[in-house]
């Protein structure tokens, strides 16, 4: 198997798609059954062809020796905006309903290679938490030389956190061209705006009609800035459940408001992002069939959580959700530097009583199910994308590192890793 | 020394042809500023092309076509971006030109024949690039086309601050809607839509500032979504990562001018674009920037033909004036630069600029 080093990934030429690869040896966590010790995975055309304990190696297959390693599906980041270039939201408005965050992805962003080097092969990219309605998310496959679109318009992102109103100011007389002079300026206002938009869409009215010109600068070319039919359609799809709705909601009051909003507008299933206080809301989350995207819980200021032992509390949320049977996954949010990926968070959660099996599930199959790519990724089964990570030891231990990573059948050796070629 | 070529002229010298080769002992017949015949001096004389013509003999000199820059602010007021709104397709950048400016006079002396006078990259739709023929004298410049190409930008780092949009996806969303609405609205219904329509329908090119790979991808997606537009990517710092995609979209590229401080990536770009057959041009305010760009592109493996085209034929075509400017060929205007050596070498000096077409209108009082 031709190996490509991440460090010089820009020079990587793709392996021929028709190549058959046999990953031989190693303990395979397929996430679709018990682990297979000393197993074999056959990969053809970038997809898993066969997996098991007794798989024959066809003639001409290139052998990748994985003896002594642990093989898992590639990890999945269930919510990030780290690979976006200069901005992960449109700052000039609070509601950019048909904005596609896909347009903001910078294919050469170093986060992509950093996350890939720690075993992450797919990620849902979302607008950040600044606008009330940030726009449409996208699921990408990670490659050292860029990204691959796995699922376009995967969900609609809204935000109920205090970040939405942050920086907005009230005008004190006179006209200003600065877009920061706008509503909402309070948490109540954020919810007022969100309700208003859903209500308008339900009634088929152009978004923002009632606010008129005061909403943005009077000279803003409203005719060109809005293509109303598209925005109404997106909100209606979200209300009907045809488009997943993801709400950034950290505090208990945020999460309560998100669930309330979902009930009021008949939104069948809502996904909560961030969720610092989800552990106080287990009963409601379960009753409403909500899914939870945790993180990033590094560096969360203590004032965001009610308990004094904030850090330990935050890391224990995953274990609480698992116990309550609420589907969850991990996300890296805007974190782009050290421990940028999702594995570090899962390790913390394991330290705070989450079972390693449950953590690995949340990093792979669980995340794939929540972000809607379960038919293509998240497990090692025939027909799935050959997205794999080979680990030097147990995945949920700090000292373990990815030795190599495979993305759609293409193998990359990580810095410090070595191939079994 | 500048000369206006009035009447019928028989001009002899070494001609720099569009493929970068040189026709020694060549000759041109020029009638009222338009090239009507070209060939070797011997052949043309035998064919009677020298008849009734005033002879201008520049034997031993090299004669090159006048330069063309597709994106320029030559002689313009310093502010390139109107801050009133980011969607101002009604704006005509040629109206920013000060006809008395020294930069314009210097550009004329340096052999710049046509400049695409453009708004900056601070607005999503900043207005129209105008094709300006640089005249011999303060009032002799001629607007060939005030709407030669529509100027757009996806470079969020340059956007006028604290105004919509403030991000790449915001800009993409505006640009995509603008093109869709321009195609959709009947003429006369909406002045903004009318102003965008020639570019939306592909009658004129659209120059989109897109520098990073992500911005280039976004421009290519806009091209894919609205099949009619003639996409020209301006800036294109990451072009070498997107060569096949740019070629497949049939897009052209406008590069920043090259200079001693250019990055290795920028220096590699011309040869990389040429290797895929992607037409490219250099943006420049002054003709000297074009000469530096040619010299450095040559140094980094670009062919003579591609270097010459990047400063003449390609930008003329992008501005929609390729039938009149950009080459020494029959039917084109005789806007010619006489050099004492190879025009593609930085050390060659300009001896004179010969200019056909519009005669000088009036002198500065």
What pLDDT score was predicted for residue B1? 52
The size of the A-B interface in CB pairs under 8 A is 112
Do A353 and A83 meet the contact criterion of CB atoms below 8 Å apart?
no
Please tell me whether the peptide bond between A184 and the residue prior to it is cis, using omega within 30 degrees of 0. Answer: yes
pLDDT in tens, chain B (365 residues): 567 778 899 999 999 999 999 999 999 999 999 999 999 999 999 999 999 999 999 999 999 999 999 999 999 988 888 877 788 899 999 999 998 899 999 999 999 999 999 999 999 999 999 999 998 777 788 999 999 999 999 998 999 887 778 899 989 988 988 888 888 888 888 788 899 999 999 999 999 999 999 999 999 999 998 889 999 999 999 999 999 999 999 999 999 999 999 999 999 999 999 999 999 999 999 999 999 999 999 999 999 999 999 999 999 999 999 999 999 999 999 999 999 999 999 999 999 999 875 444 444 43
pLDDT surpassing 70 at residue A223: no
The closest of B132, B127, B131, B122 to B159, measured between CA atoms, is B122
Inter-chain residue contact A225 with B85, CB threshold 8 Å = no
- Averaged over A49-61, what is the pLDDT? 93
Distance CA B123, CA B104 (A): 25
Residues of chain A neighbouring B213 (CB-CB closer than 8 A)? 106-108, 146
Q: Could you tell me which of B149, B134, B158, B259 has the C-alpha nearest to residue B198?
A: B149
Give the tens place of pLDDT for each residue, A121-159.
999 999 999 999 999 999 999 998 889 999 999 899 999
Mean of the pLDDT values across residues A71-85?
95
* CB–CB contact A107 B156 (8 Å): no
Say yes or no: B190 contacts chain A, CB-CB below 8 A: yes
Closest CA to B168 of A112, A89, A177: A89
Chain B residues 269-288 within an 8 A CB cutoff of chain A: none
pLDDT digits (tens, 9 = 90+) for B268-306: 999 999 999 999 999 999 999 999 999 999 999 999 999
**Averaged pLDDT, A246-275:** 93
What is the ipTM metric for this complex? 0.71
| CB B108, CB B2: distance < 8 Å | yes
Structure tokens at A51: 């997996």
Q: How confident is the model at residue A93 (pLDDT cuts 50, 70, 90)?
A: confident
Chain A residue numbers touching B163 (CB-CB < 8 A): 92, 177, 179, 217
CA angle at B300 for the pair B287 and B316, rounded to the nearest 5°: 35
Q: Model confidence over B169-222: pLDDT tens digits?
A: 989 988 988 888 888 888 888 788 899 999 999 999 999 999 999 999 999 999
Q: Give the C-alpha separation, B183 to B160, whole Å.
A: 27
Q: Which of A83, A88, A100, A103 best tests the B interface by mutation, with the highest count of B CBs <10 A?
A: A103
Residues 6+ apart with CB under 8 A from B225: B176, B179
Contact B117, B99 (CB under 8 A): no
Average pLDDT, chain A: 85
Sheet holding A47-52, edge to edge: A47-52, A40-44, A20-24, A62-65
Query: What pLDDT was estimated at residue A3?
Result: 46
Q: Which tens digit of pLDDT belongs to each residue from A375-387?
A: 999 999 999 999 9
| Separation CA B234–CA B226 (nearest Å) | 18
Neighbour tally for A303: CB within 10 Å:
7
- The partner residue sitting opposite B162, judged by closest CB among A106, A127, A178, is A178
Contact A45, A18 (CB under 8 A): yes
What is the average pLDDT across A21-49? 96
Any A CB within 8 A of B214 CB: yes
The pLDDT score that the predictor gives to residue A229 is 62
> What's the distance, CA A276 to chain centroid?
16
Which stretches within A18-172 are classed as H helix? 110-117
Burial class (CB within 10 angstroms; exposed 0-12, middle 13-18, buried 19+) of A375: exposed
CB B4 within 8 A of CB B334: no
What's residue A215's pLDDT? 35
Q: Is the pLDDT score of A301 beyond 90?
A: no
- Residue A222 clears pLDDT 80, i.e. is over it: no
Q: How large is the average pLDDT for residues A185-202?
A: 88
* Longest CA–CA separation in chain A, Å: 79
Query: Mind telling me how many Å the CA of B255 is from chain A's nearest CA?
Result: 20
* DSSP string for A45-82: TTEEEEEESS-PPPTTPEEEE-TT-EEEEPEEEEEE-T
- Lookup result for tokens 């030559």: B74
| Paired residues of A367 in beta bridges | none
Q: Which residues of B touch A96 (CB under 8 A)?
A: 169-170, 173
Q: Which of A87, A107, A227 sits opposite B168 (nearest CB)?
A: A87
Contact flag B170-A93 (C-beta cutoff 8 Å): yes
């Amino acid at each position: 198997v031709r190996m490509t080093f991440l460090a010089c990934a820009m020079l990587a030429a793709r392996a021929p798609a028709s190549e058959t690869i046999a990953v031989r040896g190693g303990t395979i966590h397929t996430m679709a059954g018990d682990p297979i010790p000393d197993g074999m995975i056959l990969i053809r055309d970038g997809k898993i062809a066969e997996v098991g304990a007794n798989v024959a190696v066809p003639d001409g297959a290139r052998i990748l020796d994985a003896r002594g390693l642990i093989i898992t599906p590639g990890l999945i980041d269930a919510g990030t905006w780290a690979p976006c270039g200069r901005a992960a939201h449109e700052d000039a408005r609070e509601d950019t309903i048909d904005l596609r965050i896909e347009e903001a992805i910078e294919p050469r962003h170093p986060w992509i290679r950093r996350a890939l080097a720690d075993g992450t092969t797919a990620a849902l990219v979302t607008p950040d938490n600044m606008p009330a309605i940030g726009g449409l998310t996208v699921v990408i496959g990670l490659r050292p030389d860029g990204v691959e679109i796995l699922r376009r318009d995967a969900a609609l992102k809204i935000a109920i956190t205090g970040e939405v109103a942050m920086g907005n100011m009230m005008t004190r007389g006179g006209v200003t061209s600065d877009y920061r002079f706008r509503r909402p300026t309070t948490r109540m206002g954020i919810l007022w705006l969100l309700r208003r938009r859903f209500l308008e869409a339900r009634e088929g009215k152009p978004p923002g009609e009632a606010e008129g010109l005061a909403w943005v600068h009077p000279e803003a070319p409203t005719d060109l800035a809005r293509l109303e039919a598209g925005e109404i359609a997106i909100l209606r799809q979200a209300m009907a459940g045809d488009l997943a709705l993801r709400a950034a909601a950290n505090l208990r009051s945020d999460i309560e408001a998100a669930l309330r909003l979902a009930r009021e507008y008949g939104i069948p299933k809502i996904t909560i992002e961030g969720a610092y206080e989800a552990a106080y809301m287990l009963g409601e989350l379960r009753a409403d069939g909500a899914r939870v995207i945790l993180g990033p819980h590094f560096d969360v200021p203590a004032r965001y959580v009610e308990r004094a032992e904030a850090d330990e509390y935050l890391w224990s949320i995953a274990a609480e959700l698992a116990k309550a049977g609420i589907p969850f996954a991990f996300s890296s949010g805007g974190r782009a530097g050290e421990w940028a990926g999702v594995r570090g968070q899962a390790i913390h959660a394991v330290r705070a009583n989450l079972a390693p099996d449950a953590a690995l599930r949340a990093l792979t199959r669980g995340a794939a199910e929540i972000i809607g790519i379960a038919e293509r990724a998240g497990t090692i089964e025939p027909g799935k994308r050959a997205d794999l990570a080979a680990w030097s030891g147990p995945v949920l231990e700090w000292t373990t590192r990815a030795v190599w990573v495979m993305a759609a059948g293409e193998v990359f050796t990580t810095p410090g890793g070595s191939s079994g070629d | 020394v500048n000369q206006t070529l009035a009447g019928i002229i028989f001009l002899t010298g070494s001609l720099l042809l569009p493929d970068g080769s040189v026709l020694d002992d060549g000759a041109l017949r020029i009638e009222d500023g338009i090239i009507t015949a070209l060939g070797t001096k011997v052949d043309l004389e035998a064919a009677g092309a020298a008849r009734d013509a005033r002879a201008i003999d520049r034997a031993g000199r090299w004669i090159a076509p006048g330069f063309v820059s597709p994106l320029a602010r030559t002689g313009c007021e310093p502010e390139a971006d109107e801050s009133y709104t980011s969607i101002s397709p009604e704006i005509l950048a040629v109206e920013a030109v000060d006809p008395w400016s020294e930069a314009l006079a210097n550009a004329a002396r340096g052999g710049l024949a046509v400049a695409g006078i453009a708004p900056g990259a601070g607005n999503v739709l900043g207005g129209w690039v105008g094709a300006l023929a640089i005249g011999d004298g303060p009032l002799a410049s001629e607007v060939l086309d005030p709407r030669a190409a529509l100027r757009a930008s996806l470079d969020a780092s340059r956007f006028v601050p604290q105004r919509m949009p403030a991000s790449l996806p915001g800009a993409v969303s505006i640009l995509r809607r603008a093109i869709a609405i321009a195609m959709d609205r009947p003429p006369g219904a909406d002045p903004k839509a009318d102003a965008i329509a020639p570019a939306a329908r592909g009658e004129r090119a659209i120059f989109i500032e897109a520098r990073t790979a992500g911005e280039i991808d976004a421009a290519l997606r806009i091209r894919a979504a609205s099949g009619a537009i003639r996409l020209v990517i301006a800036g294109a710092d990451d072009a070498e990562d997107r060569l096949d995609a740019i070629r497949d979209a049939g897009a052209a590229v406008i590069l920043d001018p090259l200079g001693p401080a250019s990055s290795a990536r920028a220096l590699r770009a011309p040869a990389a674009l040429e290797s895929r057959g992607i037409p490219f041009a250099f943006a420049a305010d002054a003709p000297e920037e074009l000469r530096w760009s040619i010299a450095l592109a040559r140094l980094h493996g670009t062919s003579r033909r591609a270097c010459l085209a990047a400063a003449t034929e390609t930008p003329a075509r992008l501005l929609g004036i390729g039938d009149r400017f950009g080459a020494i060929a029959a039917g084109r205007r005789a806007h010619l630069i006489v050099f004492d050596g190879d025009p593609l070498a930085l050390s060659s000096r300009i001896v004179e600029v010969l200019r056909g077409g519009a005669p000088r209108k009036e002198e500065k009082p």
